[in-house]
Amino acid sequence: MKKWYNVLAILMTAVIMLGTLGMACAEKPAPPKPTGPITINIGLPMPLSGSASPWGQIPTPFREAWFEVFNREGFQVNGQTYKLKLIQVDDQNTAEGGAAAAKQLIYGDNCKFIAGHWSWNFGAVASVTNPAKVIFVTRTGAPDALPASWGGAYDPKTMPYVVFGTPSFDEFVNYCFTLRDAYPNMKKLGLLDCTISKNGMGWQKVQDTLTKAGIPWQEEWFTYGQTDFAPIITKFAEGGCDVVLIAGWIGEHMAFLKQRYEMGYKNMKVGCSGPFVSMDIYKSVVGAAAFEGAIGAYDDNSKLKKTIVNPKYIAECQEALKIAAEKTKGPYEYTGEIKWIPTHPQILVQAMQKAGTVDDPDAIMKAIRGGTFDTAQGKWTMSGEKTYGSAVNFGNTGQLCIIKDGKEVYLAEHPMDPIP
Amino acid sequence: MPPAGIWVDGLVQSCIYITMAFGMVLVFSILGILNWTHGQFYMLGGFVVYYAVTAAGIPFPLSLLVSGVVVGGLGMLVEKVVIERLTSPGYGILSVTAATNALIFFFEGAAGMGFGLMNKGMATVLPGVLDMGSFSISYQKIAVIIFTLVVMVAMYIVLNRTKVGKAIRATSQEPDAASLYGVNVKWVRVIVMGIGCALAAMAGGVIGIVQSVNPFMGRVPMIMSLLAVVIGGLGSLTGAIVGGIMLGLLNSVIAYSISYYSEVALFMLVIILLLIRPQGLFGAAPK
Amino acid sequence: MIIGRHYINEKTLVPKVVIGTLIMIVAIFPVFTTNIVTLSTIILSGIWAVAVMGFLLILRTGQFSLGQAAFMAIGGYVSAILTVRMGVPYWPSFLAAGIISGVIAFIIGIVVLRAGGIYFSIITIAFGEMVRIVAMNWESVTQGASGILTRAPDPIMMGNFEINFAAGAVPYYYFMLLLVTISALFYWQIDRTRIGGTFRSVAANPVLAEHLGINLMKYRLIAFTAAGVFTGLAGAYYVTFLSVMNPLIFDLWKSVQIMMMTIVGGMGSIVGGPIIGATLLYTLGIYLSRLPIPNIQYLVFGGVVVLLLLVLPKGTGLVDQWGKLWRWVFGEPEDFQMPEEAGMDEE
């Protein structure tokens, strides 16, 4: 008797479980058509956990705040008002994480676009977005986010729905020109990059461009996770480099600044292609003395001198910074996100308006290719026909700042020449 | 010939590897396991020192001791709750290895949630630079060297001159005989774990003023100290010291000479060493 | 129980019916949902299960390999390089990935399996790192850090029915089932025959085994090579599904993950344990990564694994609880279990 009872219990549990599984997987009925503004989901895979997570987390208040400001008006296409909703998913900065995040955003959250992306998983994400015809706005410069002819993964024929809204790679070379503008008597420029990016063709391009422009350079490499830069600093010093540009992150920048100061090379200027994430962190790690004179990327569009930005966009960014400060209950000075969100969504919105549709990715891409867009970073025309095989590469102000009295001060600017 | 500055810099690196490797070998000798969480105790120690110095205003040397005690205590707790159970008869080596690896994630997550993800620096501790002519060295790096010397001397005294030390050495050589002589082997294991973790913690604290502390700083030092232990020979304390010195100097010199292939060169050396002489320089020959 | 003139032992029948039902559900799962996210999770769980089976086989010969992810990397690169850079069709490349992986495992095994216990593990760690470093730096072949974008297999025509891999995840799902089934059969067969029994004795008492004339090296080499082949295939398939291959995908921590999946799944069954362990831990990881609180996933993941290890009885995993579950259901007293023979009435 006891045995029958148990068996029956097990079988019933199995049936109930199957039933729930079936119901959970059944198609949900379509929601009724809304009146009023329609929301379009924009997906953003980025590192929310793991060692790269600060870069995903710190700009988040600003991103959310900007969308808040933007959605007060929204945008109009063919008389219909639309709002944008940002959905962020953790991709852990890995290829598998990127693929999983992209799948979740597209198939789970119904995102029409992926924008603001900068993780190191271009290939994995693009492999998911392109078959789904979801327009993917990302940056150049991650190891595989370069043209296939340079050893990267981007191929306009197999990836027709990719846009490089932030040309990080070309921006790095551009910063070299900004540095020359700032220091015309520079003796030699030291370039420091991670061995992960030691991709043949890409770096060849950097070197050729600099050589052609008559800028003497010396290149050194650090391994991922390296914390001790004494050997590299010594090599730069022996080579006569008085300005160094690091294609790296906060960890390397801070370590380099501190160590070169301690080794006696106080006058070696050290710049980084990334922005200063926080004055406090830098000061606490590097020391106020060594921090003076540090150079970094600068994206505060209210300080631009050579590039003209629509005052409306400047105001939006200031408003977003204020809201972010309120949200985080403290000063919020990080302007580095301006190159991504709002610039990427602005490109998409204007393209949709030009194409007159929000549903046709081919028409929207056609409007993007070679088009001119007015964003929070200025007005630029999509280029890259010759180098990337398709005109999907945006422009950049090349603005840098220098630390004076512990604050970011405008240093110089070099508007990027359109890449052929 | 690399300039003097490179050698000094390599020496500072060695100091950290020595301290970490020493702790790891100690734990391996007595508990018989490779503690994969060793790097995380290093990280936690760094954070304890950070908060002790900046939030509680405790002077730096005292903060180091505090972190040694606190994290050492945590290590002892881990030993009692997790390791002791998973190394009792009936469990394979797999259980404790998986557990110490899982703890890596656990502590990293806890530190990320509790302390925040960004780097935290202590540049105000021992600022300043000593100019030695052809190179300069910061007082912080000098502190690292002094710290390591102090720790090594202390370890020597404890292991050779105290009763506890004798108990530890006895247990590492002949656990059964030692218990016959009245040594409480269980407590020796707990204490040794505490010492090993305290060493890692203080290493993390002292390097924290040179660099910075962040929740992910434990992974690379863990691998490096494992390499040092392997070079020196598992189970040999002298080996740990020698391995640490070699690794630190080699790393610096190779990075200076051939920069981007330093990783490859280092691993190749280790593999060749393992194939020719798997017991390392000072370890016991394998069966 | 007795039905008519037939005696049916329901105690062995019911568990088998349950397993059979589960297998049926898995076989027709795409009928319930074609949601790509769900299918992806299952597909990847299956791929990891194959890798875990390899680790377990090696473990049964008494060796602890922390380099299995390196074989996945080798398999992945072989398949990617052959298909994308040399234009070889997919299926031959896939098989080549397994074969080359096996050959490399064989060569490494001959040199390295002599080393005992911990030394072997450390050498496998170093091997894994070497593979990663070579992949990163041998740019002419592996394209370094940019990696290689792989292509889906060409559509297969079976009569009028076309299996198109590019169309969605369903064909990947079925091929994954095929891969898992074939691997499982292979590993199960090894386990069931004398070789398997020999493996167990080798693991339990290598010295005695050697004295009895069992050639330690030979069986360890067989296990290591077989694991190399199937792990290489798993890696090649993973890389095809992911569409991208780069040196960072299969690192030391993936080997560690394989190890954790093994212990959680349980070592009693060469097939069931890995499948349960891989599915559980992988799905847990995916689920945790969706949580809004950052970094809690690491905390919970690590905590769950440690708790499981502490709570499960000595050295067993979840699969070994299967036998216990049915004994509880049928209200029978626990049999005395010899160590390392848990789950003897199943599989």
Q: Which domain holds residue B140?
A: 15-217
From chain C, the residues in CB contact with B267 under 8 A are: 126, 129-130, 133
Instruction: Judge: B118–A281 Cβ closer than 8 Å, yes or no.
Output: yes
pLDDT of residue C126: 85
Instruction: Judge: A99–C33 Cβ closer than 8 Å, yes or no.
Output: no
From chain B, the residues in CB contact with C119 under 8 A are: 274, 278-279, 286
* Helix or strand (DSSP H, E) at A329: none
The reply to whether B171 falls in a domain is yes
Of B45-59, B210-224, C211-225, C261-275, minimum mean pLDDT range:
C211-225
Of B97-111, C133-147, C171-185, C229-243, minimum mean pLDDT range:
C133-147
- Please tell me whether residue A89 adopts helix, strand or coil conformation: strand
pLDDT of residue A117: 92
pLDDT cut 70: percent of chain C above it: 79
* Candidates B82, B85, B110; nearest CB to C299: B110
pLDDT per residue as tens digits for the range C264-308:
888 777 888 888 889 988 988 888 887 777 778 888 888 888 888
For chain B positions 191-220, those within 8 Å of chain C (CB to CB) are 215
Q: Is C208 on the interface with A (CB under 8 A)?
A: no
Cα–Cα distance, A122 to A138 (Å, whole number): 8
pLDDT of residue B112: 87
pLDDT of residue B87: 79
Predicted complex ipTM: 0.85
pLDDT at C343 over 50: no
pLDDT at B17 over 80: yes
For chain B positions 42-101, those within 8 Å of chain C (CB to CB) are 81-82, 85-86, 88, 90-95, 97-99, 101
Handedness of CA C96, C97, C102, C105 (dihedral sign): positive
Mean pLDDT of chain C: 80
* Candidates A53, A108, A146; nearest CB to C295: A53
Instruction: Judge: C35–A144 Cβ closer than 8 Å, yes or no.
Output: no
* Candidates A48, A49, A200; nearest CB to C139: A200
pLDDT of residue C196: 62
In order of their start, the domains of chain A are 38-166+308-396 (3.40.50.2300), 170-299+402-412 (3.40.50.2300)
Q: Is B110 on the interface with A (CB under 8 A)?
A: no
The reply to whether B177 falls in a domain is yes
Amino acid at site C169: A
Mean pLDDT of chain A: 86
The reply to whether B114 falls in a domain is yes
The reply to whether B61 falls in a domain is yes
Which residue from B minimizes the CA distance to A52?
B117
Which residue from C minimizes the CA distance to B88?
C314
Domain count within chain B: 1
pLDDT of residue B261: 66
pLDDT of residue A199: 60
From chain C, the residues in CB contact with A196 under 8 A are: 136, 145
Which residue from C minimizes the CA distance to A196?
C145
- Mutate which of C146, C237, C300 to disrupt the A interface (most A C-beta within 10 Å)? C146
pLDDT per residue as tens digits for the range C177-200:
888 889 888 888 877 775 566 666
For chain B positions 144-173, those within 8 Å of chain C (CB to CB) are none
How many CA atoms within 13 Å lie on the side-chain side of C67? 28
- The pLDDT of B228-242, averaged and rounded, is 86
- Please tell me whether residue A183 adopts helix, strand or coil conformation: coil
Instruction: Judge: C10–A7 Cβ closer than 8 Å, yes or no.
Output: yes
For chain A positions 36-75, those within 8 Å of chain C (CB to CB) are 48-49, 53, 57
Cβ-contact C310, B103 below 8 angstroms = no
Q: How confident is the model at residue A19 (pLDDT cuts 50, 70, 90)?
A: low
Closest CA to A399 of A407, A408, A389: A408
Pairing of strands A372-375, A378-381: antiparallel
| CA distances for A130 relative to A52, A290, C6, C243, angstroms | 26, 46, 60, 12
pLDDT of residue C207: 66
pLDDT at B287 over 50: no
pLDDT of residue B44: 95
Q: Is B114 on the interface with C (CB under 8 A)?
A: no
From chain B, the residues in CB contact with C339 under 8 A are: 90
pLDDT at C342 over 60: no
pLDDT of residue A365: 93
Is residue A298 classed exposed, middle or buried when 0-12, 13-18 and 19+ CB atoms within 10 A define those classes? Answer: buried
Cβ-contact B253, B2 below 8 angstroms = yes
- What tokens appear for A216 in the block? 């003497």
pLDDT of residue C344: 45
Instruction: Judge: B6–A54 Cβ closer than 8 Å, yes or no.
Output: no
Instruction: Judge: B270–C300 Cβ closer than 8 Å, yes or no.
Output: no
Instruction: Judge: B117–C130 Cβ closer than 8 Å, yes or no.
Output: no
Q: Is C309 on the interface with B (CB under 8 A)?
A: yes
pLDDT of residue C341: 46
pLDDT of residue C200: 64
* Candidates C139, C145, C295; nearest CB to A49: C295
Cα–Cα distance, C307 to B278 (Å, whole number): 34
From chain C, the residues in CB contact with A153 under 8 A are: 146-147, 149, 244
- The pLDDT of A371-375, averaged and rounded, is 92
pLDDT of residue A375: 92
pLDDT at B284 over 70: no
Mean pLDDT of chain B: 85
The reply to whether B22 falls in a domain is yes
pLDDT of residue C347: 38
From chain B, the residues in CB contact with C116 under 8 A are: 286-287
From chain B, the residues in CB contact with C302 under 8 A are: 102-109
pLDDT of residue B272: 80
pLDDT per residue as tens digits for the range C117-170:
778 888 888 889 889 888 887 877 877 777 888 877 777 766 666 677 766 778
| CA distances for C244 relative to A47, A96, A201, A237, C233, angstroms | 19, 9, 20, 40, 16
Instruction: Judge: A199–C146 Cβ closer than 8 Å, yes or no.
Output: yes
- Mutate which of A25, A53, A57, A224 to disrupt the C interface (most C C-beta within 10 Å)? A25
Q: Is B276 on the interface with C (CB under 8 A)?
A: no
Instruction: Judge: C145–A127 Cβ closer than 8 Å, yes or no.
Output: no
Q: How confident is the model at residue A11 (pLDDT cuts 50, 70, 90)?
A: low
Instruction: Judge: C294–B110 Cβ closer than 8 Å, yes or no.
Output: no
Instruction: Judge: B137–A223 Cβ closer than 8 Å, yes or no.
Output: no
**Chain A partners (3+ C-beta pairs within 8 A):** B, C
Cβ-contact A94, A123 below 8 angstroms = no
Q: How confident is the model at residue B89 (pLDDT cuts 50, 70, 90)?
A: confident
- Closest-CA distance, B111 to chain A, in angstroms, reads 11
The reply to whether B231 falls in a domain is no
Instruction: Judge: A262–B122 Cβ closer than 8 Å, yes or no.
Output: no
Instruction: Judge: B271–C123 Cβ closer than 8 Å, yes or no.
Output: yes
Which residue from A minimizes the CA distance to B259?
A221
Q: Is B228 on the interface with A (CB under 8 A)?
A: no
pLDDT of residue A105: 93
- Closest-CA distance, C144 to chain A, in angstroms, reads 7
Q: Is B199 on the interface with A (CB under 8 A)?
A: no
pLDDT per residue as tens digits for the range A124-169:
999 999 989 999 999 988 888 888 877 788 889 989 999 999 998 8
pLDDT per residue as tens digits for the range A206-224:
888 899 988 999 998 888 7
pLDDT at A280 over 50: yes
Better-predicted residue by pLDDT, B25 or A34: B25
The reply to whether B25 falls in a domain is yes
Of A104-108, A364-368, C161-165, C293-297, minimum mean pLDDT range:
C161-165
pLDDT of residue A8: 61
From chain C, the residues in CB contact with A14 under 8 A are: 18, 21
From chain A, the residues in CB contact with B219 under 8 A are: 225
Instruction: Judge: A263–B211 Cβ closer than 8 Å, yes or no.
Output: no
- The pLDDT of B217-240, averaged and rounded, is 86
pLDDT at B212 over 50: yes
* Candidates C10, C143, C330; nearest CB to A151: C143
- The pLDDT of B113-126, averaged and rounded, is 84
pLDDT per residue as tens digits for the range A245-256:
998 788 889 999
The answer, yes or no, to whether the previous bond of A32 is cis (omega within 30 of 0) is no
Cβ-contact A87, A111 below 8 angstroms = yes
What are C245's strand-pairing partners? Answer: C148
Q: How confident is the model at residue A257 (pLDDT cuts 50, 70, 90)?
A: very high
pLDDT per residue as tens digits for the range B23-79:
999 998 888 888 999 999 999 999 999 999 888 888 888 999 999 999 999 999 998
pLDDT of residue C345: 43
pLDDT of residue C59: 85
The reply to whether B263 falls in a domain is no
- Please tell me whether residue A309 adopts helix, strand or coil conformation: coil
Question: What stretches of A151-308 adopt beta strand conformation (E)?
Answer: 162-166, 189-194, 217-222, 243-247, 269-275, 295-297
From chain A, the residues in CB contact with C329 under 8 A are: 6-7, 10
* Helix or strand (DSSP H, E) at C148: strand C148-149
- Closest-CA distance, C253 to chain B, in angstroms, reads 9
From chain C, the residues in CB contact with B102 under 8 A are: 260, 301-303, 305-306, 309
- What tokens appear for A378 in the block? 């200025």
Q: Is C331 on the interface with A (CB under 8 A)?
A: yes
